[in-house]
Structure 1
Amino acid sequence: MFDDVALREAVRERTLGALDAPLANFFAARIAFSPNLADVPVASVREELAARAGEAARGQFEAQLEAAGLTDVSASDAGTLTVATGEEAALTEYTAAFEFDAISFEVRGEPISLEGGRVDVEGVLASWIHDGGLLLSGGAYPAQNVARTVERELSEAITVSVDADLGLEPERYADEVASLVERVE
């Protein structure tokens, strides 16, 4: 599994270290069979073996999402996807949430807090038979940006406004993961 280290570092910096967790990731794997799936003479048996291995992989992916601190992990069948090799991959889409705590700091001795909340997360997992084995690829990414504003009156004449914007780009992350998934060979 590969985490988007640049995104993690950018968010850690923007939150003054309060949020330091993997926010986007990608993975690819190959499952080898013995005998090779291409050597299994009955197509329905070949497809059943691939389906069972894909089901196990989905379970592992869901467990990894939960181990990364995501909640409300939900999977849905999204049909198929044509990958770069021209093969059809079974596609599963995921939704989840990442809960984060409030961020607190002081301005001239006055405590200021930006409320915590949750970031919606989306992900995909694709599986397909290729060269007698099963290829798996997928990833997860933030599905929304997070922006918060808080104002605090320090005196009758001074009001402080703090804006926090993580600058997350959900569409870009979705496109990157989809592009990587489709190109796995």
Structure 2
Amino acid sequence: MTDERAERTDGVTRRRFLAGGASAAAVGLAGCLGTRDGPVPAPTVTSDRIDDGWRLLEESESTVFEEAFGPVTVRAIEHTRAYEYVSVADALSGTFDAGGSPVVFFSTRIDLRPAIDTLPGGVGRDRLMGEVETAALDAFRGQLRSSGIEGIEVVEEGTTTVETGHTATAWRLTGEFAFEGELPLPDGSTTTIDETAEIEARLGVWHDGTDVLVAGGAYPTEPLSDAIDEALPDAIDAETVLDATTDEETAAALSTEPETFDEEIDALLVSVE
């Protein structure tokens, strides 16, 4: 990711949390068991999958807001890590010189200082969880847009249990990833690709007894080679073109079935601590 793109992602994420969280309600959610000093610990992805095929794009820590509530000044601080699936991102960049990636994963820890049990009025986290969930969902939309995914809609809401045993509110979302560029053909000519791939995304938000944790990711619902195939002349197919004009790793990445990414995102999301 370029510095400019990282700055955009930081800005979107921060604005989204501010938009949904800079109220007394959202403040009551972010932490509950004592005030932590020093930096907010990074969210940890405990699944080994994160070290096998994923690349850390960006790590940021910022003060979401700082406001006085009665006699107490409250600061909400977030620590976020953003990842992309290496083979797909490199294949798109190398083949189309495309920025962004449709296979991404994000994890965030939100810490409130001082903690919820010291806030004036005895504000409790349970009745305010909806406020933070709304802010986190809005932030996730911004992160997806920064990765090149547009037209994002929530299509399902439910719950899931993460590996620590906590219950997360979970959403399924859909969107589209557009990619375009010149694709070389086996005869030495080129053709213009201007296609979109359908995207599925999932997000989970839960409280672990100390902090709010947010985790989510996205992936295409069909192999990217299928979208490429739609843009090619009828006389030739994507498999033939990719085999003839790219290396084996690139062709395999662009032909990866969605079930592979679905399994990856599922395993990563529930493993965040």
Partner amino acid, structure 1, of 2:269: V
Number of equivalences: 174
Q: Which has the higher strand share?
A: 1
**1:69: how far off?**
2.2
**Structure 1: runs of 5 or more not aligned:** 154-160
Aligned match of 2:267: 179
Aligned match of 1:126: 204
Q: Percent identity?
A: 25
The CA distance in 1 between the partners of 2:108 and 2:270, in whole Å, is: 13
Aligned match of 2:90: 9
The CA distance in 2 between the partners of 1:43 and 1:169, in whole Å, is: 50
The CA distance in 2 between the partners of 1:90 and 1:45, in whole Å, is: 18
Aligned match of 1:51: 130
User: Relative to structure 1, is the Cα distance of residues 107 and 79 closer, same or farther in structure 2, using a 3 angstrom cutoff?
Assistant: closer
Q: TM-score, normalised by structure 2?
A: 0.55
CA contact (8 A) 1:83 1:182 kept: yes
Q: Which has the higher helix share?
A: 2
Partner amino acid, structure 2, of 1:30: R
Match among 224, 228, 233 for residue 146 of structure 1? 224
**1:53: how far off?**
1.4
Whether 2:115 is the aligned partner of 1:27: answer no
CA contact (8 A) 2:116 2:124 kept: no
**Structure 2: runs of 5 or more not aligned:** 1-81, 243-250
**1:48: how far off?**
3.0
Q: Kindly provide the CA deviation profile for residues 96-148 of structure 1, in whole angstroms up to 9, marking residues without a partner as x.
A: 10112253446667x44264321111111100111222111111112211331
SS for the counterpart of 1:21 is coil
The CA distance in 1 between the partners of 2:185 and 2:217, in whole Å, is: 37
The CA distance in 1 between the partners of 2:220 and 2:258, in whole Å, is: 6
